[in-house]
Amino acid sequence: MSKADVPSALLIMGVSGSGKSTVGAAVAQRLGWHFQDADSLHPPANVVKMARGEELDDADRTPWLAAVAQMLQRWQVQKLKGVIACSALKHRYRQQLIGAQNDLRLVYLHGDRALLAQRLQQRSGHFMSPSLLDSQLATLETPTPDEAAIVIDIGHSVEQQVRDILLGLQAQPERPAGN
Ligand SMILES: Nc1ncnc2c1ncn2[C@@H]1O[C@H](COP(=O)(O)OP(=O)(O)OP(=O)(O)O)[C@@H](O)[C@H]1O
Ligand SMILES: [Mg+2]
């Protein structure tokens, strides 16, 4: 992707409660792009496990990440623009998802533990248990400079976060030379 180009896809990453579904849907609506929540691509066995408060292991995540990557590839082939909300906590997962696709911009929703815990506690009707927050934070590998993520402060309103993402898209991604 040349620096002046707007990407065709956004991957909204962050731990549980950071607002991926909320902000991802809002930015997709603003852009008029498709929205996909990666949570809905989990195999049923993973949903059951998470509902029990158990952590997923890499074997559980393999079919899920494959489904998310397939979704991104489908958009690319069909020349559709889309936003995907996906925790993508490890660098390795992001590499697997993004692969050779350089027409995608990473958005990292960042906030402190207290705010994340508060949002998880206030949320109802969702399969993510608040007790998993600490393991999510332990697993999180924040994006490295070569990933050129747009970093968003989750303390802001959803509307402000959407504006911050759009501003980040206009700014030139600062990737190290060679990428
Ligand atoms: N900017 C915000 N201000 C206030 N509340 C917010 C904001 N963004 C999200 N929320 C609320 O915080 C909670 C968590 O948001 P959301 O469900 O979008 O997080 P998530 O990252 O998708 O979590 P998960 O990984 O568990 O799916 C929701 O109840 C949502 O309404
Ligand atoms: Mg979500």
Q: E strand or H helix at 34, and its extent?
A: strand 34-37
Query: Tens of pLDDT along 125-165?
Result: 665 566 778 888 999 999 999 999 999 999 999 999 999 99
177: in domain: no
Assigned domain for 3 exists: no
Centre of ligand 1 to C-alpha 119, Å, is 6
Q: Closest Cα to atom 15, ligand 1: which residue?
A: 19
- Whether residue 87 lies inside any domain: the answer is yes
- Within 6 Å (CB) of ligand 1, which residues are found? 14, 16-22, 39, 85, 87, 119, 122-123, 128, 154, 157-158
Ligand nearest to the CA of 47: 1
- For a pocket test of ligand 1, which of 20, 22, 87 has the largest count of ligand atoms closer than 8 A to its C-beta? 22
Q: Which atom of ligand 1 is nearest to the CA of 156?
A: 1
| Atom number, ligand 1, closest to the C-alpha of residue 157 | 1
Residue 164 forms part of a structural domain: yes
What is the pLDDT, as a whole number, of residue 174? 64
Instruction: Please report whether residue 23 resides in a domain.
Output: yes
- Whose CA is closest to atom 5 on ligand 1? 119
Residue 178 falls within a domain, yes or no? Answer: no
Rounded to the nearest integer, the mean pLDDT of the chain is: 89
Query: In terms of residue numbers, what domain contains 20?
Result: 9-170
24 Cα nearest atom in ligand 1: 18
Cβ within 8 Å of residue 71, ≥6 positions away:
36, 41, 84
Asked if 132 contacts 54 with a C-beta cutoff of 8 angstroms, the reply is no
Ligand nearest to the CA of 130: 1
Question: Does any domain span residue 1?
Answer: no
CATH number of the domain bearing residue 144:
3.40.50.300
pLDDT at residue number 150 = 97
175 within a domain of the structure (yes/no) = no
Q: What is this structure's pTM?
A: 0.92
* C-alpha of residue 172 to centroid of ligand 1, in Å: 28
Average pLDDT over residues 57-62: 93
- Structural domains of the chain, count: 1
